[in-house]
Structure 1
């Protein structure tokens, strides 16, 4: 899967996961008002998330803390 982490209006990180068949820039067009913090690819095995890669078209890449941000949204 792919992901983009946006910054919402209150400054919180909000991850959005979506299928590989959708390009990062296509999803970005749907949510134009938020700032992109990071983007890339995510995989999960038994709740252990791994983020890697980048979205060159958004000038964004995965960061070490992205996996924890994504996992945290599934725990809440």
Structure 2
């Protein structure tokens, strides 16, 4: 899978995960957020999420803390 980490309208990081067959640039063009923080590939294994690689089209690469942010989005429970 691929992902792009955007900055949302409040300044918080927001990940968007999508299939490999969609280009990073195609997905970026569909999103209303103006700032791309990072982009690359994501996988999930026994140790959790792993973010790696980059997007040449967006001139962005996977960030060191991206997996932590994505994990938190899957484990946060809103009341």
Question: Which interval holds the TM-score relative to the shorter structure?
Answer: over 0.9
Deviations 1:14-67 (A, max 9, x none): 000000000000000101442100000000014600000000100100011000
Q: Does residue 5 of the first structure (1) align with residue 31 of the second (2)?
A: no
Pairwise CA RMSD of aligned residues? 1.2
**4+ residue runs of structure 1 moved beyond 6 angstroms?**
none
Radius of gyration: which is bigger? 2
| Partner residue in 1 for 2:49 | 49
Gaps of 5+ in 2: none
TM-score, with normalisation over the residues of structure 2?
0.90
